[in-house]
Amino acid sequence: MSQSTTIMPGGGISRRPLHLIVLADCSGSMRGEKMQALNFAIAEMLPNLAAWEQEQEMAQVLVRVVAFADVPRWHIAEPVPVGQLRWKPLQQVEGGRTNMGPAFRMVAEALSPGRLEQRALQPALLLVTDGLPTDPPGQFEAGLAALLALPAGRAAVRLAVAIGRDANSEALHDFIGDPKVPVLVADSTDQIADRLATASIALSRMSEAGVDRGALASSLLGSAGGAGRAPAGDAGIV
């Protein structure tokens, strides 16, 4: 029997918690079609994750969501089993900026020592944005440093989806923290659902104990040459 599972009385298997936290950009630039597409994409992603959960015996996926603009807030504050979650649409903040540092600090607090189960798998963090960070000088870096200062933050599988090529930036690569893992780019709102579906499967698979994240990223995300950037002409990743 794998160390990833525990036999319960009566022969059942206890799954290990896999905490997925989505950091969703709700700034002013996400108005209209972008926000509609993001809500649709997340609503479509959840059943895919629930199906993956049922196909394996190791993990129970627990979902939380941070909505961020000028300031972050918990859209889903308590971990909810993915199979029980009914999606409540995010709302764009009129005139809101893309301040990521405070969102990282909010997630860091959720991952601080004693907040996760001892048996929990490496958490998974998914950042979705359509813009560059607009934090005051040094605040993006300070927020990310606070997240990475925690053992769970460093160990977390971190992926980023950029809505539009202009949203891709070194900041997103810094968040991911692995040159072998690319930023997923949705060149249009029609591609957001596809990119989130890809990201959700990659996050779940890359959280498995002992997995080679770089090799899996190359297989699932198609990274080129282990550099985390796509060759010219590839519209899927950067």
228 within domain boundaries: no
Show Cβ contacts of residue 124 under 8 Å, excluding neighbours closer than 6 positions. Answer: 18, 19, 20, 21, 156, 157, 158, 159, 203, 204, 206, 207
Domain count, the chain: 1
Q: Is residue 227 part of a domain?
A: no
Residue 155 inside a domain? The answer is yes
Buried/exposed 149-179: b ≥16 CB within 10 Å, e otherwise: ebebbeebbbbbbbbbeebbbebbbebbebe
| pLDDT tens per residue, range 39-84 | 999 999 999 999 999 988 889 999 999 999 999 999 999 999 999 9
In a domain, 234, yes or no: no
Domain of residue 55, CATH code: 3.40.50.410
This prediction has a pTM of: 0.86
Using an 8 Å Cβ cutoff, are 213 and 206 in contact?
Answer: yes
In a domain, residue 212? The reply is: yes
Task: Say if residue 231 is exposed, middle or buried (CB neighbours under 10 Å; 0-12, 13-18, 19+).
Answer: exposed
Domain of residue 125, residue span: 13-221
Task: Report if residue 39 sits inside a domain.
Answer: yes
Asked whether the predicted pLDDT for residue 220 surpasses 80, the reply is no
